[in-house]
Amino acid sequence: MMKKVLITFILLLITLNGFANTINNIVVVDAYARETAKGQDVGAVYISLKNKGNKTVKFIGASTPIANTAQIHSMKMNNNISSMKHEQFLEVPANGELKLLPGESHIMLMGLKSPLIKGQTFPLNLHFEGLQDLKIEVPIKSINVDEMKDMKM
Ligand SMILES: [Cu+2]
């Protein structure tokens, strides 16, 4: 019985590793994009990056074949209006985590070549300073329309 549990556990670990997107000590814990409304040519990707190494890593941007550009944006509140700022990089702290969360930061996709449809995925290349790209598939989830409407550059 113990043996079976152990084997199951090992198999589970292998499976999890198979799905984890890891390169150079960087692990993508969670990534998703919001589906886009009709006629909308911008989108947002939210992501959590874990750094398993003991050196800070600079996340410097992303690219995808489905959009003309992808930029790292942070959001700030000013008089109840949220505005976005293009960041040249964000740091993934050593043995820490960088989270791009709704209302805080995101990877902005600009010039979308096709709408983002719930249930589909698209490829995204994550760029890190001095390191190899990390290629992931981003699942598309349904939107909270209000949040997107409030976005202003
Ligand atoms: Cu943005």
pLDDT tens figures, 66-87: 999 999 999 988 888 888 999 9
Average pLDDT for residues 13-31, to the nearest whole number? 67
Instruction: Please name every residue paired with 78 in a beta bridge, in sequence order, or none if there are none.
Output: 81
What percent of the chain has a predicted confidence (pLDDT) above 90? 65
Does 113 fall in a domain? Answer: yes
Does 10 fall in a domain? Answer: no
Look up the domain containing 65 and give its range.
23-149
Looking at residue 103, its pLDDT comes to 87
**85 CA distance to ligand 1 middle (Å):** 7
Looking at residue 6, its pLDDT comes to 62
Instruction: Please name every residue paired with 16 in a beta bridge, in sequence order, or none if there are none.
Output: none
**112 CA distance to ligand 1 middle (Å):** 13
Q: How many domains does the chain have?
A: 1
Average pLDDT for residues 118-134, to the nearest whole number? 94
Does 9 fall in a domain? Answer: no
CATH number for the domain that contains residue 65: 2.60.40.1890
**43 CA distance to ligand 1 middle (Å):** 8
Does 111 fall in a domain? Answer: yes
**4 CA distance to ligand 1 middle (Å):** 48
